[in-house]
Amino acid sequence: MQRVLDPKASAALAPVQGYLAELHERVSGLTGGNPADYIPELSKADPAAFGIALATVDGQVYAVGDADRAFTIQSVSKPFMYGYALQRYGRDAVLTHVGVEPTGEAFNSIVLDEVANRPFNPMVNAGAIAVAELMGGATQEQRIANMLALFASLAGRDLEIDEQVFRSEQATGHRNRAIAYMMLNTGMIRRDPNEVLDLYFRQCSVNVTCRDLAIMAATLANDGTNPITGEGVFEAQYVRDVLSVMNSCGMYDYAGEWAYEVGMPAKSGVSGCIIAVIPGQIGIAVYSPPIDASGNSMRGIRVCQEISNEFELHAFNNRTNVRSVIRRDYCGDVVRSNRLRTPEERKVLAKEGRKVVVIEVQGALFFGSTEQLLRKLTQLATEADYVVVDFKRVHFADTSARKLIWRATRSMAGGKTELVFSAIADDGPLAALARELAAHEENRLVRVFCDADAALEWCEDQLLARSPQGVSGPKFALSELDLFKGLKPEEYRLIEPIVRPLIFDKGEVIIREGAEAKLFFVVARGTVSVQIRVPGERKKRVASIGPGLSFGEMALLDGGKRSADIVADERVICYGLAVEQLQELAATHPNIMITILSNLTRDFSERLRHANEEISALE
């Protein structure tokens, strides 16, 4: 849905709206130029009419002045018709009909590329006439309907032809007729020139507003998808072609100076409109009828110049720092997964954890930033056995980035260091990369995990499996459990009658948040997850607990409500101990409770100390 800010909104609340209002007031005083008079209907335009609109790629529209006044689109129709031709026929086929070379001549010059037997580019009249012939449809009526449907999909609403302007164009378009017949003579067009010109005059006579043009320009900025309706109009590969030609040819014989001063792909029309596109950001439209000798709106040029300078939107203002692609990196001896470990396992990870390295990546991945990432990855891989690349904060990866990442994956496969990826969702901006990596997961060329925590846990398990201490297996004897270490043999025998073996199937909730805390548990076999509720009613795992470790032990201390869910990750065997029974036993054998609480305190203290170290490392 289109979002439009109230033009009277405070500049403090709407900085963009406020800036455009100030810009409109400032440029309104600019004089010079006159409405186009070689098309009689255009000469009737009000010279004081002046509107500015700006549309973002996520559908926000800002508008000031006469942004909703209707006027005819004229030559601003040309890039969109060119995009249609590319989309329908493909790049190679369209290139046989029209080239992409600037002419340095006026928009209506009778100059053709006789060597290639085609007009020089689709932004001059000759090229636009050749492109008009490519509109699909078996009859003229169908072609007109298809042309209007194209513009409707771009503007997000139905548009109509201004019949008076159309008839005026038709009556005075002698120069265009000369161009069309010259093109027919050399085979550059094949249909009846009058029929082709009829469609060309009609496309130029479509009524639009400044707001419409801003949305149409934002569709180009948004890789061909209308940001208001969400409709895909052009493929991104053809948007690139359209913007390239707009950048070099869109402002006719003023194109070089425009590129130097403004630096945005743009297109002007003799009705006094200009569109400009900042890829990935915004579309700009200006309407002001007085035009200069090149056919460009005087106020439109000034508006685009000021916006470009004010916000540094020139195409060659480089604000991409590839060195910022790496947010941070850390080793597994300092930052560990949320899997709780036994004291023996923690000792192993404290010693061997440096063999695991996590690289947090951020921003957009393209050739330059990915090259920086891979260079850092190669450096860290010389010391590490496992490198986890966390993509949680990456919002885009282009084709070159995906190719480089896949090359790195193949080159490292089977080597000393194993490359592991995390947080590459298959339904987001990294979907293409996710699909490419998933296709090779089965043959173990690559491993991909849902998040960095899961990847880190897997790497830790590999280190523990290689260690003499190994990963903790099932622990059924009470004497093997850390919670009860230090008890005397007779004290173990006293506890055994109040210990209840419990079995839970995968996915079963063992403890539910908010329930009364009457039992605490020790895992004998399998693993369980500690889950908390986060905004949006979604559950998040904050810890994983395996054999020999306890959970729900806060019941011993305060007996309050449960603060999280505990869910079985697999078939789990636990020991459940009733707090009330243990307290009754401790009344006559106090050393039992003293020993258990001492073990808990020691474990909590070690966890807290390591948590502090992790926080310090991640700051």
Q: What is the pLDDT of residues 382-422, one digit of tens each?
A: 889 999 999 999 988 888 888 888 888 888 887 889 999 99
Across 75-89, 175-189, 448-462, which has the greatest mean pLDDT?
A: 75-89
Pair 81, 240: CB distance under 8 Å: no
pLDDT at 613 over 70: no
Which sign does the torsion angle of CA 593, 595, 600, 605 carry? positive
Active site residue 43: no
pLDDT of residue 440: 67
Average pLDDT over the chain, rounded to whole? 87
Q: Identify the active-site residue in 19, 84, 200, 575.
A: 200
Q: pTM surpassing 0.85?
A: no
Q: Which residue has the tokens 């549309």?
A: 55
Nearest-angstrom CA–CA distance, 308 and 492 = 78
Q: Is 75 a catalytic residue?
A: yes
- b/e per residue, 594-604, with b = 16+ CB within 10 A? ebbeebbeebe
Q: For residues 257 and 303, give the distance between their C-alpha atoms in angstroms, rounded to a whole number.
A: 15
pLDDT at 4 over 80: no
**Mean pLDDT, residues 551-580:** 84
Which residue has tokens 């948590």? 611
Predicted confidence (pLDDT) at residue 9 exceeds the cutoff of 50: no
Q: Which of 81-95, 278-292, 588-602 has the lowest mean pLDDT?
A: 588-602
Q: What domains are defined for the chain? A: 3-311 (3.40.710.10), 322-466 (3.30.750.24), 478-618 (2.60.120.10)
pLDDT of residue 498: 87
Beta bridge partners of 361: 326
Q: Which of 19, 238, 252, 575 is catalytic?
A: 252
Active-site residue, 485 included? no
Question: 511 in helix, strand or coil?
Answer: strand
The count of other CB atoms within 10 Å of the CB of residue 80 is: 27
Q: Is 200 a catalytic residue?
A: yes
Q: Which of 61, 78, 238, 528 is catalytic?
A: 78
Active-site residue, selected from the candidate residues 165, 196, 233, 270: 270
pLDDT band at 562 (very low <50, low <70, confident <90, very high): confident
- Note the pLDDT tens digit of each residue in 196-235: 999 999 999 999 999 999 999 999 999 999 999 999 999 9
- The reply to whether 84 belongs to the active site is no
Catalytic residue among 75, 153, 168, 529: 75
- Residues pairing with 544 in the sheet: 339, 529
**How many Cβ atoms from other residues are within 10 Å of residue 478's Cβ?**
19
Lowest average pLDDT, out of 103-107, 149-153, 551-555, goes to 103-107
Diameter over CA atoms, the chain: 113
What pLDDT, in 10s, does the model give residues 168-183?
Answer: 999 999 989 999 998 8
Name every residue whose Cβ is closer than 8 Å to that of residue 349 and which is 6 or more positions away in sequence: 332, 333, 336, 341, 460, 463, 464
d(CA 284, CA 262): 13
User: Among candidates 186, 182, 213, 180, which has minimal Cα distance to 198?
Assistant: 180
